[in-house]
Amino acid sequence: MNKVEITSILTKRIFKKTLEIQKNYPELYELLDETPLFFSFAEKDITIKDLRQYLISLIMQKKYFEKRNTKNDLQ
C-alpha cells in the first residue's frame, strides 16, 4: 500500500471511531476537543505515524471511558 492509501484508511478509521464515540458516548465526545494532539515536530505535515497515534488515543479513551462507566454502574 502506498502512503495515500494508508492515510485514507487511517482517516476513515478515525472518522468511524469518532462517530461511534459521538453516538454512544456523547459525554466523551464533548471531551475530545480537549484531547491534546501530539504531532511530529520534525515533519511539516501530519504523518501516518501521527494518524496512527491519534487513532490509538481515541480507542484507548473509549476503552477507559467504558471501563470507568462499567465500574460506576456496578457500585
**Per-residue model confidence as pLDDT tens digits over 4-57:** 999 999 999 999 999 999 999 888 888 776 666 666 667 778 899 999 999 999
pLDDT on residue 74: 55
* Contact (CB, 8 A) for 46 and 4: no
pLDDT on residue 2: 96
pTM, entire model: 0.78
C-alpha separations of 73 from 36, 61, 66, 68, 69 in Å: 28, 18, 10, 9, 6
Q: How many helices (H) and strands (E) does the chain have?
A: 3, 0
pLDDT on residue 3: 94
Domain boundaries, the chain: 3-70
C-alpha cell at 20: 461511534
Condensed to tens digits (0 to 9), the pLDDT of residues 52-74 reads 999 999 999 999 988 887 766 65
